[in-house]
Amino acid sequence: MLRSVLTTLGIIIGVASVIVMSAIGSGASKQIEDQISSLGTNQLTIFPGSANVGGRQGGFGSAPPLTEKDLRAVRDGVTGVMAASGNLNGNANVVIGNANWSTQVQGVGSEIEQVREWSVVKGRFFDAREAASGAKVAVLGDTVANELFGAGDPVGATVRINNAPFQVLGVLAKKGQAGGRDQDDVVMVPISTARSRLVGRLGAPDQIGSLLVKVDPRYNITEVQADIERVLRERRRIGADKDNNFIIRNFAEFLETRNQAAQTLGLLLAATAAISLVVGGIGIMNIMLVSVTERTREIGLRMAIGARGGDILGQFLTEAVLLCLVGGLIGLTLGAGVSFMVAKLLSWPMHISPVIVLVAIAASASVGVVFGFVPARRAARLDPIEALRYE
Amino acid sequence: MTDPAGAPPASEPAPGAVISARHLTKTYQLGEHAVHALRDVSFDIQRGEFVAIMGPSGSGKSTLMNLIGALDTPTSGELSINGAAVSSLDKDQLADLRNRTIGFVFQQFNLLARTSALNNVKLPLSYSRDPAKQARGDELAAQKLQDVGLGNRMDHVPSQLSGGQQQRVAIARALVNSPSLILADEPTGALDSETSLEIMNLFRRLTESGMTVVLVTHEPDVAAHARRLLRVRDGRIVEDRPTAEGSLRASVSTPRPPSSRCG
Ligand SMILES: Nc1ncnc2c1ncn2[C@@H]1O[C@H](COP(=O)(O)OP(=O)(O)OP(=O)(O)O)[C@@H](O)[C@H]1O
Ligand SMILES: [Mg+2]
């Protein structure tokens, strides 16, 4: 019994690691999918890229910043752009009474709602006039609202952000985790307000950190992207032979690439699993050969009382498959347990797909058939007289 | 003339005989060296006979038992078991023949350890090609255990049974598929004389109800329970005669009740 368990260790470890890795891996790719949909589709992000001056590559952000004028040029000058918003991020301490919470403050335009597909569950978002005028108003992410107000209603309250009073206009709908970050741990303020109060020295008085664009789904996003690129190159006076000093990123596409990387990882995982199952299978073959030798007399007896070679073959194949299945099930349980623990401890999303469970069970059974065959055939080919005489 | 032991076998297999052996030889080739385990052995065994085979060690008794048990095929000669010519059968057909026709009893019992008496007895039925018998496995096995007097030991595993009880389980196993023939190679070799007597009495009762029993033994006391004695030496049958018991039976037309016997 103990010996059998030890023998199936290879299978147990093989199956368990497959389950753990795939649980974590597919958790990650599921997360990526969720992220894609939470980021909003048809969205382009534009930020200043490295300036290529006289063949020398400048650092990130060394290029001239984007401004409100660029934003307007893109929004009004490119067909297919549905909405656009600047984005200027900083960190700030938000205080109300004794409660205090350090969070990310995003200065955004009023169109951000549309661009990022955010929605407000309580109160309202700031409008275009408030966004432009530098009004001291804020919309809280779900986490911030909970931390500062608990079950209370934040709408209408006044919080202090970096010591300046801001009126809370509303609370954002919950978005959840993305890339290990809590997307709801955020406060949104008008970008003009952020510019004057919350972020430090700026390169331009109407600077925006990055430009977020929502493309009308009826237009081809690649063509719209090319148009935006043309408009910005013109505005930034980039010669035909020069590289862009800004970057346009299609985020969904970027995540898609990461998803493919995850799939490659999955392939690697499959290879690892195959190797450990083969190692496990060799263990099974070994113990089955030992078992056939130990039970030679039993085999002889069974043959004497009428078992055909095929019956003996079937019996030992069944035993090998059962052994592997038991190992597979133990591995499955172990793997699920470890995945669950990893998910708990590292707060990593976990997802065990029923497909991988079926694959694991089928794989362990096949290992039993493949590696049980040689010992089973040896048993089936024994001569009954010699087997009965075996000591 | 009704005495089968006296009549020299014809060259054709005897119709109706459980075993009909004609000119059987078995030669083992060990490298250059040929071992003639059996040389030109012919005999018939009829239904209901109780035959003891005796002979010195290495004379070919087990080889002969293996042949008539369809565990092995002769090098030359003809062997029919229940009218079926063994040489024409392939391995699977031999296995089926053993399953349907022959019950084996071994010196070392050969019961499956950690398996109850009932399940040990049932084992041959799991290889039966008759689904009706398989389905009635528990019932048939329980019946046979009753018959050998172990109705109250069905759930015991071999280690919880005495040697004689284990051999009786083995006999129940040999009987469970209603064979034509019980073959026992030194069935009392591992038992004391009292237990041996018990086993031999069981065999005798079986033959009285029509079962055919052939056993190999080294002990004249054990052989005396049989009714016919085959003596083997150097691969040949050197003696084929009724035992004292057999002669007595042959002269009395109706068997005496067992209680009137002594011995
Ligand atoms: N598989 C084999 N290969 C070679 N020789 C064999 C084989 N089986 C039996 N023999 C030889 O055949 C002869 C008869 O053997 P067998 O086992 O039939 O004797 P036995 O009468 O049963 O002896 P014992 O009373 O010791 O059991 C012996 O000389 C034995 O060595
Ligand atoms: Mg022998």
Contact status of B112 with chain A (Cβ, < 8 Å) = yes
Distance from CA of B46 to the nearest CA of A (A): 22
Q: Residue A12: which of A264, A20, B68 has the closest Cα?
A: A20
B173 versus A117: the higher-pLDDT residue is B173
Say what the pLDDT of residue A40 is. 62
**Atom 22 of ligand 1, nearest CA residue:** B62
Partner-chain contact B110 A301, CB within 8 Å: yes
Inter-chain CB proximity A297 and B110 less than 8 Å: yes
CB contacts, 8 Å: B110 with chain A: 297-298, 300-301, 388
The preferred substitution site among B30, B62, B71, B73 for testing ligand 1, maximizing ligand atoms within 8 Å of CB, is B62
Look at residue A325 and tell me whether its pLDDT is greater than 70.
Answer: yes
Given the cut 0.95, state whether the ipTM is greater than it: no
Nearest to B57 by CA among B224, B189, B182: B189
* Contact predicate A312/A379, CB 8 Å: yes
Per CATH, is B47-68+90-249 categorized as 2.40.170.20? no
Taking CA atoms, A376 is separated from A10, A214, A278, B91, B111, in Å, by 20, 65, 18, 17, 21
Q: How far is the CA of B176 from the centre of ligand 1 (A)?
A: 29
Q: Which residue, B142, B191, B140, is CA-closest to B165?
A: B191
Residue B167 CA to ligand 2 centre (angstroms): 18
Q: Which of A294, A305, A308 to mutate to test the interface with B (most CBs of B within 10 A)?
A: A305
What mean pLDDT is predicted for residues A214-240?
87
Residue B29 Cβ inside 6 Å of ligand 1? The answer reads no
CA B225 to ligand 1 centroid distance, Å: 25
Model pLDDT, residue A196: 82
B17 near B78, Cβ under 8 Å?
no
Q: How confident is the model at residue A53, as a pLDDT?
A: 47
For residue range B218-231, list pLDDT tens digits in order.
Answer: 999 999 999 999 99
Q: Angle, to 10 degrees, between the axis of helix A9-39 and the axis of helix A309-345?
A: 50
Crossing angle of helices A9-39 and A354-380, rounded to 10°:
160
Tell me the nearest-neighbour CA distance from B92 into chain A, angstroms: 5
Q: Are B95 and A309 within 8 A, CB to CB? A: yes
3-state secondary structure of B181: strand
Q: What CA–CA distance (Å, rounded) separates A236 from A70? A: 9
Average pLDDT, integer, range B96-116 = 95
Q: What angle do CA A109, A62, A210 make, to 5 degrees?
A: 15
Q: pLDDT for B74-89, tens place per residue?
A: 999 999 999 889 988 9
Q: Is residue B34 in contact with ligand 1, taking CB distance under 6 Å?
A: no
Q: Please state the domain extents for chain B.
A: 47-68+90-249
The answer to whether residue B128 neighbours chain A at the CB level (below 8 Å) is yes
Cβ <8 Å between A304 and B112: no
- Residue A100, beta-bridge partner list: A95
Query: In this model, does residue A194 exceed pLDDT 50?
Result: yes
Look at residue B256 in the predicted model and tell me its pLDDT: 45
Tell me if A304 and B66 make a contact (CB, 8 A cut-off).
no
CA gap A148, A186 in Å, rounded: 12
Q: Supply the residue whose CA is at minimum distance from atom 2 of ligand 1.
A: B28
**Strand B50-54 versus strand B212-216 pairing type:** parallel
Find where tokens 């970096």 sit: A162
How far is the alpha carbon of A388 from chain B, nearest alpha carbon, in Å? 9
CB distance B18 to B180 below 8 Å: yes
Instruction: For residue B178, report the distance from its CA to the centre of ligand 2, in Å.
Output: 25
Query: Is residue B63 within 8 angstroms of chain A, CB to CB?
Result: no
Amino acid B258: pLDDT: 47
Q: Give per-residue pLDDT as tens, B197-244.
A: 999 999 999 999 999 999 999 999 999 999 999 999 999 999 999 988
Distance between A370 CA and the closest CA of chain B, angstroms: 24
| Mean of per-residue pLDDT scores for chain B | 89
In angstroms, the separation between the Cα of residue A385 and the nearest Cα of chain B is 7
Domain ranges of chain A: 2-35+256-389, 64-244
- Give pairs for B165-168: CB < 8 Å, separation 24+: B166/B109, B166/B111, B167/B105, B167/B109, B167/B191, B167/B195, B167/B199, B168/B198, B168/B199, B168/B202
Looking at per-residue pLDDT, the higher value among A7 and B159 belongs to B159
Residue with the nearest Cα to atom 31 of ligand 1? B58
* B127 to A310: CB separation less than 8 angstroms, yes or no: no
Q: With 90 as the cut, is the pLDDT of residue A182 above it?
A: no
The finding on whether B60 has its CB within 6 A of some atom of ligand 1 is yes
CB contacts of B72 in chain A (<8 Å) are 385
User: How sure is the predictor about A1, in pLDDT bands with cuts at 50, 70 and 90?
Assistant: low
C-alpha distance from A311 to closest chain B C-alpha (Å): 8
Closest among A113, A102, A185, A181 to A145, alpha carbons compared: A185
- Give the C-alpha separation, B235 to B40, whole Å: 8
**Contact status, residue A328 vs residue A361, Cβ threshold 8 Å:** yes
Q: Which residue of A has its CA nearest to B109?
A: A301
Helix (H) or strand (E) holding B92, with range, is helix B91-101
A320 in Cβ contact with A376 (< 8 Å): yes
Kindly report which listed range (A140-154, A257-271, B147-161, B162-176) carries the lowest average pLDDT score. A257-271
Torsion angle of C-alpha atoms B63, B65, B68, B74, degrees rounded to 10: 0
**Displacement of CA A78 from its chain's centroid (Å):** 33
What span, in angstroms and rounded, lies between the C-alpha atoms of A137 and A130?
8
Give the pLDDT mean for B230-259.
Answer: 77
- Answer whether B110 sits within 8 Å of A388, measured CB to CB: yes
Beta-carbon contacts of residue A226 (< 8 Å; ≥ 6 apart): none
Q: Are A47 and A31 in contact (CB under 8 A)?
A: no
Residue nearest to atom 7 of ligand 1 (CA): B28
Contact check, Cβ <8 Å, B173/A305: yes
Mean pLDDT of chain A: 84
pLDDT of residue B251: 65
Ligand 1 center from residue B182 Cα (angstroms)? 21
pLDDT at position A34: 66
Which residue has its alpha carbon closest to ligand 1 atom 8?
B63
Ligand whose nearest atom lies closest to the CA of B39: 1
CB A270: neighbour CB atoms within 10 A?
Answer: 15
Tokens of A372: 């049980």
Contact between A385 and B72 using a beta-carbon 8 Å cutoff? yes
**Atom 29 of ligand 1, residue of closest alpha carbon:** B58
Q: What's CA A36's distance to the chain center, in Å?
A: 10
Nearest CA in chain A to B126: A307
Give whole-number Cα distances, B203 to A328, A387, B147, in Å: 50, 26, 12
Closest CA to A188 of A144, A254, A129: A144
B28 touches chain A (CB under 8 A): no
Q: Would you place residue A289 in the very low, low, confident or very high pLDDT band (cuts 50, 70, 90)?
A: very high
Report yes or no: B26 at the A interface, CB cutoff 8 Å: no
- pLDDT at residue A200, as a whole number: 66
Residue A273: its H or E element: helix A251-294
Max mean pLDDT range (A11-20, A137-146, A240-249)? A137-146
Cα B53 from chain centroid? 10
Say what the pLDDT of residue B121 is.
96
B136: Cβ contacts below 8 Å, ≥ 6 apart:
B125
Nearest to B216 by CA among B229, B197, B199: B229
CA of B99 to the centre of ligand 1 (A): 24
Considering the entire predicted model, what is its pTM? 0.70
If phi > 0 it is left, if psi is from -120 to 50 it is alpha, else beta; for residue B45 that is: beta
Do the Cβ atoms of A44 and A215 come closer than 8 Å?
Answer: yes
pLDDT in tens, A47-90: 887 654 444 444 555 678 888 888 889 888 888 898 888 888 88
